[in-house]
Amino acid sequence: HKPIYILAIESSCDDTSAAVLMNDKVLSNVVATQAIHEEYGGVVPELASRAHQQNIVPVVDQAIARANIDKKQLSAIAFTRGPGLMGSLLVGTSFAKSLSLGLDIPLIEVNHMKAHILAHFIADEKMTSPKFPFLALTISGGHTQVVQVNDYFDMKIIGQTLDDAVGEAFDKSAKILGLPYPGGPLIDKHAANGNPHKFEFPIPKVKDLNFSFSGLKTNILYFIQRNTKDNPNFINENLEDICASIQYTIIEILMRKLKKAVKQTGIKEVAIGGGVSANSGIRKALTDAQEKYGWKTYIPQFQYCTDNAAMIGIVGYHKFKNEIFSKQDITAQARYVI
């Protein structure tokens, strides 16, 4: 069998990424993170698309060079069609379309959230792939979903957030604490040495398998306002314990719903995906669940948790095998449900 080479492009938010896969193996995975947003405390769409325009050519060139292949060997181009920021998506979409036209190879559109899930099928000796059907908890800056995955292309959302995404909950809490954007990884870092039971934040009561995180953010804001009134140094003196307590609450919310989802579906294969699955607390909770609840759990390698093109490439590979191609008139889609 001739190997399949996929060039994948991801530009849905603030990371410009390109990857080359040979079948299900990653030959290269280049990510250019945009530092520009840090000073604004969040992603500025206009700046993001401009940075993508600057980054995309060097990032793609680097991905091909590192893969040590010639452009002419490529079998197809896969790209993120959505969901994401329209201006950002447009850069990757139009680049992929023109490259597929220029090289005269098929074009494959990929749903970003599906890719976070199918990242588990990247061939990597440090990862094993879940067996169908499995449950996927996708947690990122824009999404929080529980998905029942019956097959590569047969997925059903069985629960989701009614307001903020879990990544937003991390980032907004961090902002209240005066930490720079994106604050999720910083909360994780400070939480490592803190006492998760020092402060208590309520777990919201939400129906079915759905989530809500906006109340938590408000609770944290009031909690900080209340305590800094008497002691302006309250945050500094308690940062590790505050972060540990916030992280504990968020993980408790996620794990309670996962337990409910397992009970409801009878599926004990559980995988996580998306940027927040880089969080050490959720990784530990999922690992512990194997022994505690008898689940089989799957945690991606760090480089496949946050936004990356390798996960777009693995979807591209499976679509290529099934000859699921896109036409040249395909457009980016900011809201794109899996």
Give residues in contact with ligand KG4 (CB under 6 A). 13, 140-142, 167, 170-171, 182, 184-185, 188, 274-276, 278-279, 306-307
- Cβ proximity to ligand KG4, 82 vs 275, nearer residue: 275
| Dist. CA 121–CA 154, nearest whole Å | 15
CB neighbours of residue 229 within 10 Å:
9
Flag whether 184 is marked binding.
Answer: yes
- Cβ proximity to ligand KG4, 73 vs 301, nearer residue: 301
Residues contacting Zn ion: total by CB under 5 A: 2
Determine if 279 is a binding residue for Zn ion (CB under 5 A).
no
Q: Which of residues 140-179 bind Zn ion (CB under 5 A)?
A: 140
Flag whether 138 is marked binding.
Answer: yes
Cβ 311 to Zn ion shortest distance, Å? 9
Could you please report the per-residue DSSP string of 47-108? HHHHHHHHHHHHHHHHHHHHHT--GGG--EEEEEEESS-HHHHHHHHHHHHHHHHHHT--EE
Given 11, 307, 319, 336, the residue binding Zn ion (CB under 5 A)? 307
Distance set, CA 265 to CA 44, 133, 200, 247 (Å) = 40, 10, 31, 27
**Could you give the strand order of the β-sheet that contains 144-151, starting from the edge strand earlier in sequence?**
154-160, 144-151, 134-139, 269-273, 296-298
Cβ 116 to Zn ion shortest distance, Å? 6
Flag whether 173 is marked binding.
Answer: no
- Cβ proximity to Zn ion, 124 vs 307, nearer residue: 307
| Dist. CA 296–CA 77, nearest whole Å | 33
Only segment of 128-136, 282-290, 305-313, 322-330 that touches Zn ion (CB under 5 A): 305-313
Closest-approach residue to Zn ion (CB): 140
φ, ψ of residue 49 in degrees (nearest 5): -70, -35
Flag whether 151 is marked binding.
Answer: no
- Cβ proximity to ligand KG4, 31 vs 135, nearer residue: 31
Flag whether 112 is marked binding.
Answer: yes
Residue entry with tokens 């409801």: 264
- Cβ proximity to ligand KG4, 75 vs 80, nearer residue: 80
| Dist. CA 8–CA 63, nearest whole Å | 9
Flag whether 279 is marked binding.
Answer: yes
CB neighbours of residue 87 within 10 Å:
18
- Cβ proximity to ligand KG4, 141 vs 316, nearer residue: 141
Write out the two tokens for 240. Answer: 């590790």
Q: Does 204 sit behind a cis peptide bond, omega within 30 degrees of 0 on the bond before it? A: no
Instruction: Determine contact, residues 107/98, Cβ cutoff 8 Å.
Output: no
Flag whether 140 is marked binding.
Answer: yes
Cβ 302 to ligand KG4 shortest distance, Å? 9
- Cβ proximity to ligand KG4, 159 vs 274, nearer residue: 274
Q: Which residues pair with 273 in a beta bridge?
A: 138
Flag whether 69 is marked binding.
Answer: no
Flag whether 288 is marked binding.
Answer: no
| Dist. CA 247–CA 188, nearest whole Å | 7
Cβ 5 to ligand KG4 shortest distance, Å? 25
Determine if 14 is a binding residue for Zn ion (CB under 5 A).
no
Only segment of 66-74, 92-100, 136-144, 286-294 that touches Zn ion (CB under 5 A): 136-144
> Which residue ranges make up the annotated binding site for substrate?
138-142, 171, 184, 188, 279
Binding site for Zn ion (CB under 5 A): 140, 307
Question: Binding site, residues?
Answer: 112, 116, 138-142, 171, 184, 188, 279, 307
